[in-house]
Amino acid sequence: MTSEFGQFCPIALASEVLAQKWMFLIIRELNAGSTRFNEIRRGVPRISATLLKQRLDQLEQVGVIIRRRNEKGSSEEYLLTEAGRELKAVLGSVGEWGQRWARAIEKDDLDPGWLVWAMHRRIDVTAMPLGRTVLEFEFFDAPKDQRLFWFLCANDSVDVCIKSPGFDTDLKVITSVQVFAEVWRGLRPLRQEIKSGGIRLEGSLALQRAFPGWLLLSVFAKTRRQV
């Protein structure tokens, strides 16, 4: 591990940590606010527990995170250090580049579970009605167990549910994963898809009209793709 590249160039030294499979995604989750093991896994669902733990240990060792038992002692927390927080700049440049130049989306990238997990951090509850709002998504092209999701939006938090939360749905969104992914990425305009029927809304007209204002989309959505 030490001196993997035989150079003292800062890019080489950083590579020892960063240029490994999964690493950017784990760091992205941490910088998005995840602190717990399974929280990180929801953002990186395809990594194995073994490997995630290995990577977290490594990040701790090089000083990107610190590990801590939470107050109740019931669970472990992984917290970014200043070094870890400064990796946000790297995530930014990598994401910008990916948005502009990386390969096109393919079938196997379209994990609806990941999409809703990413969305739940980018829903602007302050733009919503006060109190509880239940948002339901139906991805009609997804396998049965990934077709339906609910967002339980309170005044200051958003929870993702894979079963009905037990409250009535206020606004339902019906779409394909493909179309919604492209909207999320900023490759198609949201309002236009609503008009053309690529995204269908069911619920009060007031909520339908407000909906595009709730959805902040991907952090990189405004970056113009070049290919």
Partner DNA sequence: CGGTATCCCCCGCGATACTG
Partner DNA sequence: CAGTATCGCGGGGGATACCG
38 binds, among its own copies, DNA, none (CB under 5 to 8 A by kind): DNA
Lookup: tokens for 73: 């002692």
* Largest Cα span, the chain: 63
Distance of CA 167 to the CA centre of its chain: 25
Amino acid at site 178: Q
Residue closer to its own copies (CB basis): 101 or 167: 101
Lookup: tokens for 54: 């290995």
The interface region with its own copies, picked from 49-57, 85-93, 154-162, 197-205 by CB under 8 A, is 85-93
Residue closer to its own copies (CB basis): 24 or 151: 24
SS3 (DSSP) at 123: strand
Question: Does 97 sit near its own copies (CB under 8 A)?
Answer: yes
SS3 (DSSP) at 33: coil
Q: How many CB atoms lie within 10 A of CB 119?
A: 21
Could you list the residues that contact its own copies (CB under 8 A)? 2-25, 28, 44-46, 62-64, 82-83, 86-87, 89-103, 105-111, 114, 118, 181, 185, 218, 220, 226-227
Could you list the residues that contact DNA (CB under 7 A)? 20-21, 36-39, 46-51, 53, 75-76, 78
